[in-house]
Amino acid sequence: FACLLRLDGEDASSLQSAFEAAWKTLGKKPSYLLTDNGAAFLKCDLTGVVRLYTAPRSSQSNGQIESLHRTVRMWMRSAMADDESLTVEQAIAKVMKAYNRSVHFSTGRIPADMLKLDTSSVEWQRLVDTAVLDAEKKIDSCTRHELYPGAVVRVRAVNKFDKVVTKTSETPFSERRWRVVGFLGASGLVTKSADYGVYRKVKIVSDSETRILHVTRLVLCAPTEIDVLDLRRAMRRIAREE
């Protein structure tokens, strides 16, 4: 969104007045101002505004402003050439209205609509629908798992140096068994859900020890494995008693 104003000079007082006029146009005062701290800005008294300084010759920040300036100059020349009766103030107002109501090349959206988003606006609803559609596509394309609360699992071993799960099928699993307590969601621990396959963080417990791991670290135990585990525990218990 561009707020264009005519400057009577480049001194600090003129710039400060221009900032105040721009903030009235926007309807609010910014908390932060990105600036290269040029000579004309050094003495500007902008109370309550934190200045964030760009790096010298910063193409990413300064380039955006320079691109806007080129566009504004080109549109100003075109508007005043088409209608010689326009004053500078009228041309500025016309160009600012045209710029802010045109689809921006970088964002693909109209700046004036983006600045006045509310829950009843068409642009807001379009953004919400797009976000929901992207989320649904991500859920549909994600790899699902078969874990569920109460399932007995084993933990996949990891590389001891970088803790990255190896991709080979020969990666060993520990003999220790764990039970799935639930899955971590945005609202906390999930123990009841119609589809557990979309969750990625799982809470497991074994002998009073609790861990939170990624689902790719776990493998479901077959019923025969669970029976063997119970048998081994019983045999160790008998051996200790003897």
Instruction: Let me know: does 34 contact 63? Beta carbons within 8 Å.
Output: no
**Closest by CA position to 145, among listed 47, 43, 215:** 215
> What is the per-residue pLDDT for 62?
60
- Inside any domain, residue 6: no
Q: Looking at the structure, do residues 111 and 18 belong to the same domain, yes or no?
A: yes
| Residue span of the structural domain in which 201 resides | 152-241
CATH number at 37 reads 3.30.420.10
> What is the per-residue pLDDT for 203?
93
- Inside any domain, residue 71: yes
- Inside any domain, residue 2: no
Whole-model pTM: value is: 0.40
Instruction: Let me know: does 30 contact 49? Beta carbons within 8 Å.
Output: yes
> What is the per-residue pLDDT for 183?
92
- Inside any domain, residue 118: yes
- Domain edge (last residue) among 105, 122, 139: 122
Number of domains in the chain: 2
> What is the per-residue pLDDT for 172?
62
Q: Looking at the structure, do residues 17 and 115 belong to the same domain, yes or no?
A: yes
Mean pLDDT by 10 residues, the chain (242 residues): 80 84 78 73 79 63 69 85 86 83 74 62 65 72 80 75 49 76 86 83 89 87 65 70 68
Q: Looking at the structure, do residues 175 and 77 belong to the same domain, yes or no?
A: no
Close Cβ partners of 118 (under 8 Å, ≥ 6 residues apart): 124
Q: Looking at the structure, do residues 161 and 103 belong to the same domain, yes or no?
A: no
> How far is 179 from 152, CA to CA, in rounded Å?
5
